[in-house]
Structures are given as C-alpha cells and as structure tokens.
Chains A and B, each alone.
Chain A
C-alpha cells in the first residue's frame, strides 16, 4: 500500500531499506553498489507492490466502461494524476474545467515522448522560418534531437548558448542570444553529466521578457529536488517515472492549460476524440487530447505511489544525504592522481560526479568497477555536444540517490585505485 507521512523524519538508512534490489545479496556475497540512479532509479517495495495490486485486483481499461473494475481503475489513475499535479505545484483550475476532467498533467511514455510531443504539436503550429530555438550543451539528446527535427520541418533555427568554463549555464551569453526571434528555450533543470543546476526560474523570466516559451527537462532533477511549475512559471515541464523511483514506460508532460488548449493533438486514436466524422474529427480537451490509445495504466498509478514515497521521505532528508554523498565523492576522488572531475564545484551541482582516469578508457573503467560490484555508467551519456565541449569522448559517471551510503563512496574510490593498480601493474 502507499507510503504514509511519518511524524519522525526518516533516516537515509531506512529509505535504503525500502529497496529490495539494494538489500538483495542473491547475486553474490555482497549487495550491489548502485551508483547509476542517473540512468534509472531503483524501485521501492511500495511501487513494485502497487503494480502487482493493479493487475491482481482491479485490472481493466480506463475511461471506457461502467463495470466496477473500470470504475476502480479509472479512479486510481485519476487520483495519481491529481497527486502528480500537487507534486508539481500546478495552479488550481477553474471549476468548470474540473467538471470536464481537464488537467495540465498529461501521461506520456517518458521525458523523450513529452519533448517530442511539444516539439511536434506546439512547434508545428507556432514555429516559422527564421524563428529560433535556444539550446545549450548541457542538454540530453532527448532535448536536442526533437528540436532539430521540428526545426528542419518548419525552417526554424537551433541556436546554442555556450556554457561557462566550469560547465554552468551562462546567463550573460543567454541574454546576448535572446531576441524577438527566440520562440522556444528548452533547458534542463539538472545536467545528466555534470550535475549542473541551471537557474531555471531566472531563465524563464528572461525568456518570457522576449516572448519565448520555455520547456524544462526535469528528468534528471525530479528525484533530487521539487519541480515547482508555478515558482518557475514554466510553460512546459517533462519528467520520467523511472528516474523518480517509479516504473519505466510512464512519464509526465506538464503544460499551461491555455497552451495545451491551443495545440493540436500529437498522436491520433481512441480516447482523444470528441467526435469522429467521415472526413475529420474533433478532439477532447487536455489531457485526453494528448493521450491517444491505452496508457500504461498500472505504471501511471504506481508513479503516484512513487511520489507518495518521495513525499514520505521528505526533500530535506533526501537533500542532506545526497549532499553528503556528493561532497564525500568529490573529496575522495579529487585526491586520486589521474582523476579529473568535470563540471562545476559541489556548491553548484546535484548528486552526479562524472570523471575520467588518465590512461584508462571510460569503458574499461566501467567494466572494472562493475566487476568489483559497482554499477556506474561509462559513455557519452546521450550528451555528445557536451562531451565535445569537455574535449573527451566518454566519461564515467557516478550518480547518487538518498539510498546510497558513504561506505559506497569509499568503495568507489578504492575500486578506482585498484583499477589503476591493475591496469598499470607492469609499469613498476
């Protein structure tokens, strides 16, 4: 069942205890050291149980029938949608809109689909030749390629805002590039490689001053810090369930209702229509206009459970633990000869540490760490433009969550040193 809010603050150790995979020693004599939350978070028992409960007790399609199973699963799905709306601090909607089941929360298959939806639906309608889409090198390919595709289709242009030397978002450069031609600023709330935290609220304020819309990619930030769409004044915000301790295959697009109402649909199909005639159709209002076909229903419901868990743990506990892990990781790795950490200082980033070790290709380091029971990611992390800026082909990334421990950071540092000893053993 769903997690409950506790009177006493939970400890990081208790959070860890909720994750069966992290306490499971079945694969060997010790549990996995999982430092790859940036790729996907592990799942708490409550989320796993919720999916089972959906299929065992009230599996049916939603919005389509009148039998009790249908009523139950529709209620669960819409309850999850409301939880997500509250989690993102969306504004209260008009009473008449609520009677129409209107919502600013659209279920997608994940961040990638959310961005593609906005690029195709909003972009096709509002972008003209010469319009500019402003990106920066911190972006994941999911927040680059959909914009390149719609730019090619509409004649709009991609403009790149360079970073500061230490990998932070450069507001001065941003100001210079913003103009009346800027129609969309797509920016991450947290870099999946450097951990950089762009000043999202300030970016939105300056973009709005020239009439541009802003899409916030919160995929990486979602498990680490609140998404407050009102404080940000974001036009669109997207995230994935699986990085927020929820299931794969489900994600969320938030959009301001007036924008969503203006936009045409993305995918056509069942559930999104108002009327279907021989030669054309009319569409429902958001969110259903953008939810053609059957959703991953159990996943959408279990995402609500994941949000219950995060709220039960509390952002304070999550932030304190992650900050301690981040500081420890920098301290331990910075003193190892040959290790280079990329990006801003600890004060300007979230709990991600990407690094290289001189003389050891990232893929070999990743393999060596894996064999010592440590899961990291070693690649370009779907951010090739950023790696071009960094001047390296690949980095090794340790990404943390509140369920990680300081002992795991120590194990990472020790494993790097051991790998160096193994790799350079013949150098004497």
Chain B
C-alpha cells in the first residue's frame, strides 16, 4: 500500500510543492486567469508574459493540496519558451505525463487545475498575440 502512496507523493512532487518554481506574480503579465476546485478548495492563478507568439515567463500563485500546487509549478516550467499555438493544442494527457504519478479521477482534477487555467486563458485570447508587426 505504502509504495502506491510514495508513487503519488514522489520526490519530484514534494520538491515542487515545497520549493515551487515561479510562485508569485509578474509585474506586467500579458494575461492572467484564476480558477478554483470547489471540491477541495484549491485556488490557482496563472500569469503569462507573452511575446513573439511565445510564453516568455509564467508565474503561478495559489493555495491548496500538494498535487494542485506542484502541478502548477511544473506547468510553469513546461510552458516557458513554448509557442502559444503549441500550448493551445496541448492535451490533458501530456499534463498528466509531466506529473508522472498515478492519480485517481478525483485527484486528476487537482493535477489538471493549472492546465485548465492555462487552456481557458489561452482560448480566451482573441488571437495569438504578439505577432509583431512586420
């Protein structure tokens, strides 16, 4: 039983939970979005700095369970340097692969909260911004 637990709360999850990557706020984000997981009260805000059609910087802030917060931290690492268009097409499966721990359906909601915030934000952008005028 305990080996399955160690699977979920693997070192890389606890690392990101205890020492998150880019937790905080951007001074002038291109876009920001917040969502909550009403089941367990996870809260998450994601802020992106977008230029040249790419995410230059990503920061998150929030509170909640280790899975949701670690996932947001890992997502910030993942999106930086990537094209907005590529991220728009990122499947949920890829986020779960990044997490790389076995999650039950209810815990997947935690693991995918940041991903959901990202997708909602990117879809609500009218068009890929920051295609600089030629």
Contact = CB atoms under 8 A, between A and B. Distances in A.
A296 interface: no
Contacts of B64: 361, 363, 393
A363 B9 contact: no
Interface string A349-374: 00000000000111110011001110
B24 interface: no
B42 interface: yes
Q: How many of chain A's residues touch chain B, expressed as a range?
A: 20 to 34
Nearest to A378: B40
B28 interface: no
Contact of B5 (A362, A368, A378): A368
Max chain A Cβ within 10 angstroms of own Cβ: one of B5, B8, B107, B110? B5
Given A363-B65, A364-B67, A367-B107, A422 B41 contact: no
A379 B9 contact: no
Nearest to A418: B2
A367 B8 contact: yes
Interface residues of B, number: 21
Given A423-B9, A426-B11, A426-B14, A362 B40 contact: yes
B6 to A, nearest CB: 7
B9 A394 contact: no
A373 to B, nearest CB: 7
Nearest to B67: A364
A380 interface: yes
B125 interface: no
Contacts of A393: 41, 63-64
B1 A373 contact: yes
A378 B106 CA distance: 12
Contacts of B8: 367, 371
B110 A363 contact: yes
B134 interface: no
B39 interface: yes
A427 to B, nearest CB: 9
Interface of A: 360-364, 367-368, 371-373, 378-380, 393-394, 418-419, 422-423, 426
18 contacts: A360-B66, A361-B65, A363-B41, A363-B110, A364-B65, A367-B8, A368-B9, A371-B8, A372-B1, A372-B2, A372-B5, A373-B1, A380-B41, A394-B40, A419-B5, A422-B5, A423-B66, A426-B14
